[in-house]
A = this chain, B = another copy of it.
């Protein structure tokens, strides 16, 4: 990769993440809050704790975690209509909200959480590709802070550890025949195949969502993308641990 010119717009190597920043404590109200950036993609993640659970879960002794994703109207290059104004949530928003919720629930031990609910709100302030993966990665950190807050408030019983692992996510894709990690918007638009991968800290998969945007992809390409993604998630898990290790 050294002497040949980089195949990427921003000079990265194919297996390199964009600059990642994770700022905790970005809101004075939320129990956990994070401003995460993957390059120019910026997502504001808050975690809100409430005692009690939805009706269908009452009396189970188990908690619940859910998520809502949204893009600010001018987070993108062209202004989009507000979903509140249109009066309905679009399919893409629904899909990503569900993905974030499932990803975080994969590392939650409901019993240890007890009958508490944590809602993650992931609002995209600026979009440049990979908003859902940044949202999952940032939401995990906000969730960890919210869990710590609930432990401090004794909403969670002493000795209980509701988080079983970390979880992070990254996009990968094949652009011009080359598998690339963490696509920015320009790369995403040109990708033949686009895949989002969510991994736990121990390197196992929570979600694998690959889509052929142009040409179908074969098993070899799929394997190359999975390799890249696992490496990227490993790096992101390190950033998450580092952010959480810092004293706020």
Interface residues of A (CB under 8 A from B): 27-30, 33, 40, 44, 46, 48, 50, 68, 70, 72-77, 79, 82-85, 87-95, 97-98, 102, 106, 119, 121, 123, 125-128, 165, 195, 199-200, 202-212, 215-219, 222, 226, 230
Pick 20 A–B contacts, CB within 8 A, sort by A: A27-B125, A27-B126, A28-B40, A29-B126, A29-B127, A30-B74, A44-B72, A46-B72, A73-B121, A83-B84, A84-B93, A92-B98, A106-B216, A204-B212, A205-B216, A205-B222, A207-B212, A208-B208, A219-B226, A222-B226
Asked whether, in the complex, the Cβ of A206 is within 8 Å of the Cβ of B216, the reply is yes
Asked whether, in the complex, the Cβ of B222 is within 8 Å of the Cβ of A200, the reply is no
The residue in chain B whose Cβ has the minimal distance to the Cβ of A86 is B84
Copies in the complex: 6
The residue in chain B whose Cβ has the minimal distance to the Cβ of A225 is B208
Q: Which of B46, B79, B88, B209 contacts A208 (CB 8 A)?
A: B209
List 20 extra interface pairs beyond A27-B75, A29-B77, A205-B210, CB under 8 A: A28-B40, A28-B128, A29-B75, A44-B72, A46-B72, A48-B74, A72-B121, A82-B84, A91-B91, A91-B94, A91-B95, A91-B97, A94-B94, A106-B212, A195-B208, A205-B216, A205-B222, A206-B216, A209-B209, A222-B226
List B contacts of A216 (CB < 8 A). 106, 165, 199-200, 202, 204-206
Main secondary structure of the interface of A (DSSP, over half): mixed
Asked whether, in the complex, the Cβ of B212 is within 8 Å of the Cβ of A206, the reply is yes
With A75-B29, A77-B29: A89-B84 Cβ-Cβ less than 8 Å: yes
The 3 A-B pairs of least Cβ separation, nearest first, read A91-B94, A204-B216, A83-B84
List B contacts of A212 (CB < 8 A). 106, 204-207
Asked whether, in the complex, the Cβ of A79 is within 8 Å of the Cβ of B126, the reply is no
Q: How far is the CA of A77 from the CA of B27 in the complex (A)?
A: 10
| Cβ distance A40 to chain B, nearest Cβ, rounded Å | 6
Asked whether, in the complex, the Cβ of B95 is within 8 Å of the Cβ of A82, the reply is no
Asked whether, in the complex, the Cβ of A222 is within 8 Å of the Cβ of B210, the reply is no
Asked whether, in the complex, the Cβ of A205 is within 8 Å of the Cβ of B218, the reply is yes
